[in-house]
Structure 1
Amino acid sequence: MPAVIALRRAVRRRTRERMGVPALPAAQVELLRAVQDEPGIGVAGAARRLHLAENSVSTLVRTAIADGHLRRTPDPADRRAARLELTDAAHERLRRWRAMRAGVVDAALARLDPADHDALAAAVPALTRLLDAVEEIDPHDQEGGRP
C-alpha cells in the first residue's frame, strides 16, 4: 500500500503549503485532536489514548499551552488533576486544516476521469474493512510489528 502512504503524505504537504503557517509536529496534532474529540480529557487519559508516556504528553501539553493551542483548567472533582481544552485559536487552526485538506483532495479528484472516480468508490469498502482490522489489532501482540 505504498500509494496510500504516499497519497497521505502528498495531501499533508500540499495542505501545509496552502496553510502558510509552520507545521505542528505530528504528536502535537494528535494531542489536539484527542482533546477536540474528548474535551476535558486529562493528561493521563490523553497518554492512554495516544499510547504515550504521561511525561511525554505533559511535555506536549506545555508546548501546546505556550503556543496558545491548549488551556489547562483544574478538575472540579479533583483539584490535583487538570482538564485540557482547546483554545479558539486551536479550533480555528483545526477547522482551517480540514477545509484546506478537503480543498486539496477535491482539486485532485476534479482532475481524474469518471473511471478513476468509480475505481476509488469501489475501493472504499475494502479500505474501511482494512481500517477496522487495524483498529482491532491487540497493541501488545508482537507479531507483525516493526522491522
Structure 2
Amino acid sequence: MNDNARVNDIAAAVVALAPALHRALERRADAEFEHPRPPEMQLSALRLVRRRPGTTVRELAGELQLKPNNASALVTAMVAGGLLLKEHDQADRRVVRLRLTDQARERHDAVQALFTGYVEAALTTLTDRERRDVAAALPVLSRLAEQIKQGE
C-alpha cells in the first residue's frame, strides 16, 4: 500500500470513529441523565464558556465558526433558556462577557462526569499497552483537530 492510500485509510477511519464515539457517549448519557440535552451548538457554546468564562459573543462566534448574527441569536436563546448570563465588561461597557448560569454549570459538569465515567470504564477493559497507545494518541489527535480547524 502506498503512502497516499494509507493516509486516505487513516483519514477515513478517523472520520468514522469520531462521530461513532460521540454518538455512543450521547446515547448512554441520554438514557441516564434526567434533563433533556440541549442542541449540539448550544452544547459547544456551553463547553467553550465553561472552559473560558468571560468569553465574548465575538470570540464565541470565532471559536465555533459561526457568523456573528448566528452567534448572537444562539446567545440570546441560551440566555432566555437560563443557560448563559451576559455581563458587561468593567473596562468597556459595550463589551458583553458570557458566563454559565449555576444550573447550566451543574448540568454540564454532571454530563461531563458521565462521559468521563463511560470512557474510564471502557479504558479499564483495555490492556496497559492499549491504554498507553490511547494516551499517546491524544496530543496528536489534538494537533490534527487544530489543523482541520485552521484549514491547513
Question: Shorter-normalised TM-score: what interval?
Answer: 0.7 to 0.9
- Matched-pair identity in %: 36
Stretches of structure 1 lacking an aligned partner (at least 5 in a row): 142-147
Q: What is the total number of aligned residue pairs between the two structures? A: 138
TM-score in terms of structure 2 length: 0.78
- Name the aligned partner's letter for residue 11 of structure 1: L
Stretches of structure 2 lacking an aligned partner (at least 5 in a row): 1-12
| Structure 1 runs (4+) greater than 4 angstroms displaced | none
Output the CA distance in 1 between the equivalents of 2:53 and 2:150. Answer: 25
Q: Is the 8 A contact 2:56 2:98 kept in 1?
A: yes
Output the CA distance in 2 between the equivalents of 1:139 and 1:47. Answer: 15
Match of 2:10 in 1: none
- Name the aligned partner's letter for residue 99 of structure 2: E
Does 2:134 match 1:129?
no
Deviations along 1:98-136, whole A, 9 cap, x unmatched? 1111222334445x3x54x53243243134313213313
Deviations along 1:10-44, whole A, 9 cap, x unmatched? 01211122112111111101111211122111111
1:49-128, aligned counterparts within 5 Å? 49-110=63-124, 112=125, 114-115=126-127, 118-128=129-139
Q: As a proportion of its length, which structure holds more helix?
A: 2
- Name the aligned partner's letter for residue 21 of structure 1: H
Larger RCO, structure (CA 8 Å, separation 6 or more): 1
TM-score in terms of structure 1 length: 0.80
Does 2:14 match 1:14?
no
